Chain A
Amino acid sequence: GENVEQHPSTLSVQEGDSAVIKCTYSDSASNYFPWYKQELGKGPQLIIDIRSNVGEKKDQRIAVTLNKTAKHFSLHITETQPEDSAVYFCAATSSEGYSTLTFGKGTMLLVSP
């Protein structure tokens, strides 16, 4: 089955800095790579996703890049703000019908004012 590794497990930045979280996956047939943000006491919320036919996708301060050859994808947050502080999860589909998601173990991002 799919295996997703996520790094780092914790990340501390100053407000205004950029943050990068990286994930690798094992199944070369995976075609969908979402990123979720989870705030304390809440369910995960989809913030951006990318499909395998695209190399990069941006949404305001957030971007995701995908390297299918190397089987890794990254989340980039620019101009970080304290409200970006949360746990971020990457995920990848299983090649078996694209009906299951395998998640990374999460990155706790702390943005200090």
Chain B
Amino acid sequence: EAQVTQNPRYLITVTGKKLTVTCSQNMNHEYMSWYRQDPGLGLRQIYYSMNVEVTDKGDVPEGYKVSRKEKRNFPLILESPSPNQTSLYFCASSLSGQVYEQYFGPGTRLTVT
């Protein structure tokens, strides 16, 4: 089944404890992206990758890191999480190297205390 998977789906952590949210797609997609969703703010793009080893900042990259060492994986790293990073995170991918026809993962709900 073609899909985008994220792990974990739920995570509660403490301020400053490094964490990684994994994202994987099995559709051989070129483009992958991370978004955060907050009430009243919609979806905001954190980072994106147009191909392996190519990453760039979205609208809200502060406090996040990403890497794209393999085509199928695009992990989101929070080196020192803070409470304002409490949010619902979505990974997405698309076949082309651009934003067209993105498929979204199921989401990861992160709480930082």
Which residues of A come within 8 Å of B, CB atoms? Answer: 1, 6, 32, 34, 36, 41-46, 49, 89, 91, 93, 97-106
Contact indicator B102/A93 (Cβ below 8 Å): no
Tell me whether B90 and A43 are in contact (CB under 8 A): yes
Chain A residues positioned under 8 Å from B31 (CB to CB): 99
Taking the closest CB of chain A, its distance from the CB of B44, in whole angstroms, is 7
Residue contact B105 to A43, C-beta cutoff 8 Å? yes
B76 at the A/B interface (Cβ < 8 Å)? Answer: no
Point out the residues of chain A lying under 8 angstroms from B100, CB to CB: 32, 34, 49
Known: A89-B43, A99-B48. 14 other contacts (CB 8 A): A32-B99, A42-B107, A43-B105, A43-B106, A44-B43, A45-B104, A46-B103, A49-B100, A89-B42, A99-B98, A100-B45, A100-B59, A104-B42, A106-B42
A101 CB contacts on chain B under 8 angstroms: 33, 45, 99, 102
Q: Which residues of A contact B103 (CB under 8 A)?
A: 46
CA distance A38 to B92 in the complex (A): 14
Among B43, B44, B92, B106, the residue within 8 A (CB) of A42 is B106
User: Chain B residues near A104 (CB, 8 Å)?
Assistant: 42
Contact status of A99 and B107, CB under 8 A, knowing A1-B59, A44-B43, A89-B42: no
Using a CB–CB distance below 8 Å, which chain B residues touch chain A? 4, 31, 33, 40-45, 48, 50, 56, 58-59, 90, 92, 97-107
| Distance in angstroms between the alpha carbons of A57 and B71 in the assembled complex | 32
> Bound state CA distance, A32 and B100, in angstroms?
8
In contact, A44 and B99 (Cβ under 8 angstroms): no
Decide: A100 and B48 in contact? CB cutoff 8 A. yes
Q: Are B59 and A43 in contact (CB-based, < 8 A)?
A: no
A105 touches B40 (CB 8 A): yes
- 9 closest Cβ pairs, A-B complex: A43-B104, A105-B42, A103-B43, A103-B42, A101-B99, A44-B104, A98-B98, A43-B106, A106-B42
Q: Report B-chain residues with C-beta under 8 Å of the C-beta of A36.
A: 104
Nearest Cβ distance between residue B24 and chain A, in whole angstroms?
Answer: 14
